[in-house]
Amino acid sequence: MPMIDMPEFAGDLLAEFARRDAERVNTPVIQPAEPFLDMAGEDLRRRIFLTESETGESLCLRPEFTIPVCLRHIASATGTPRRYAYLGEVFRQRRDGSNEFYQAGIEDLGDDATAAADARAIGDALGILKRVLPKADLRLTLGDQAVFEAVVKALGLPHGWQRRLIHAFGDMAHLEALLERLARPQPVAGLDPDISAMMAAGDEAGLVERLDRTMQETGYSTNASRSPAEIAKRLKEKLELSQTRLDGTALLLLREFLTLQLPLSDAPAALAGFADAAGLKLGDAVSLFNARLQSLADAGADISAMTYRAAFGRPLDYYTGLVFEVTAAGSTAVLAGGGRFDRLMTLLGAREHIPAVGFSLWIDRIEAARARQ
């Protein structure tokens, strides 16, 4: 496998990591594929380089560092809080053909002071970029998945629809398609008339019996698939989702929320005004959002120069709260991006809840920006 050159400013990055008390770690280039396929999101899944071990285990070339660093922490049984830094190659398919490139970043694991840790992640990303791009006019865009989840839940949608909308956060085209379906529900097509009748009558026992009989007659093994009861449950949920209609007022409210884009300093008042006008209680999500802004301000950040965009998300499924990206003025190339991923450690096998936040630096884009300077 050909190796690409280490960035010439790697020393500056390592010095910044050390100054921030982040322990540099490395992880194997060959990784188990399952965590990425299950938790990283569709955008990354379709660009992973997959392979297989001699025993048939699904493997991949390391497509990013967050999951490997978290797995390494869990395997080492190290206590928290811990701060890890990384600098190394990642491998994923890209449209420009540069499928092997360097990433660097910091993962902050186990700090219970959530707002302060979020503010530190943003400050570290900006501080490191300012060292390697001293002349750049940096622009930060911030979103919050937890606030979006709070809005969706406050609207009282069925849990299935809540999951769909939350899963689509950050992908405006997908979100808009889902909102269109909520505005104009479509009936479930292709169901057997008898099954449709049982579902309409709420005859769950009869439905399970019918599905079981059909599976036995067709030789469809329940050992290799869902049981009749599980299939009946899924059909019931699918019917419920297909019949759910979001009333015009609620639909307008959700779309109004997604259009919010303003200086970060004005976001608390805007969110409070939206919640009051809509009659929604957003609770802890907004409290944490405001605490994060206060921590940023206390650290000396100019939050009026940062942008809050309610619809902004990042194309990784494991984010749970803060999400942010940094670009340079006049360019759309993301130089740094990150966010909070509080559920990931448990999903990867940690025995206890471990709050986590971090960010990645896109080294090839930083090199291009340095060349322009």
User: Which of the listed ranges 116-130, 171-185, 207-221 does the model predict with the highest average pLDDT?
Assistant: 116-130
Q: Is residue 358 part of a domain?
A: yes
Q: Is residue 181 part of a domain?
A: no
Residue 60 forms beta bridges with which residues?
A: 31, 50
Distance CA 196, CA 191 (A): 6
Residue 330: name the closest of 130, 139, 133, 141 by CA. 139
Same domain, 203 and 72: no
pLDDT tens digits for 107-129? 999 999 999 999 999 999 999 99
Same domain, 44 and 158: no
Same domain, 76 and 9: yes
With 0-12 / 13-18 / 19 or more C-beta atoms within 10 angstroms meaning exposed / middle / buried, residue 54 is exposed
Same domain, 41 and 129: yes
Q: Is residue 25 part of a domain?
A: yes
CA angle (20, 22, 26) in 5-degree steps:
145
The pLDDT of 68-94, averaged and rounded, is 94
Same domain, 198 and 236: yes
Same domain, 146 and 262: yes
Q: Is residue 221 part of a domain?
A: yes
Confirm if 13 and 361 have CB atoms less than 8 A apart: yes
Same domain, 112 and 199: no
Structural domain ending residue among the three candidates 293, 313, 328 = 328
Classify strands 138-144 and 322-328 as parallel, antiparallel or unpaired.
Answer: antiparallel
Same domain, 142 and 130: no
CATH code of the domain containing 93: 3.30.930.10
Token pair of 316, please? 């990784």
Q: Give the pTM.
A: 0.83
Res. 217: pLDDT tops 60: yes
Q: Which domain holds residue 213?
A: 193-243
Distance CA 309, CA 79 (A): 35
The pLDDT of 275-293, averaged and rounded, is 93
Same domain, 6 and 93: yes
Structural domain ending residue among the three candidates 180, 214, 243 = 243
pLDDT at position 110: 96
Same domain, 78 and 217: no
Q: Is residue 362 part of a domain?
A: yes
Q: Is 222 left (phi over 0), alpha (psi -120 to 50) or beta?
A: alpha
Q: DSSP code of 41? A: -
Q: Is residue 226 part of a domain?
A: yes
Same domain, 153 and 292: yes
Per-residue b or e along 225-249, where b marks 16 or more CB atoms closer than 10 Å to that residue's CB = eeebeebbeebeeebebeeeebeee
Q: Is residue 344 part of a domain?
A: no
- If you average pLDDT over every residue of the chain, what do you get? 88
Same domain, 319 and 355: no
Distance CA 321, CA 170 (A): 12
What's the total number of domains in the chain?
Answer: 3
pLDDT tens digits for 22-62? 999 999 999 999 999 888 877 788 889 999 999 989 999 99
